[in-house]
Amino acid sequence: MAYIITRLCRDCVDTACVAVCPVDCIYEYKGSDTAAFPNQLYIHPDECIDCGACEPECPWQAIFEEAAVPDIFKDDTPLNYKMMELTSDFHVKKHEQKPKPTAEEIEANKKKWSWS
């Protein structure tokens, strides 16, 4: 069972999770079908070793153990798995230092996705 990056990452794309991943299984989509694969990070389910290092590092609180993904984000689990069909369109994301979001920004993002 892998960790799942949910839509709470969309357009936020903080790479703190990438910096701590010991197996480089966190990817970004580089293809043209942005309707199918929105601007967020994805965890390759077959490469994830379930170490859990990524989850506490995500400042947007967007990463969950697969069994613990909130119901409102259940559609994000098959989306992470779908990346396996188009692996050539995904590339390991490089870590980029970004300012951390404020508590207010995190809450606004959760509210945007109806999870607060």
Split at pLDDT 50, 70, 90, the class of 43 is very high
User: What is the per-residue pLDDT across 47-89, written as a single tens digit (0 to 9) for each?
Assistant: 999 999 999 999 999 999 999 999 999 999 999 999 999 999 9
Residues 6+ apart with CB under 8 A from 14: 58, 59, 60, 98, 100, 101
What CATH code would you report for 3-112? 3.30.70.20
Confidence (pTM): 0.94
Question: Once rounded to an integer, what is the mean pLDDT over residues 97-115?
Answer: 94
pLDDT at 1: 78
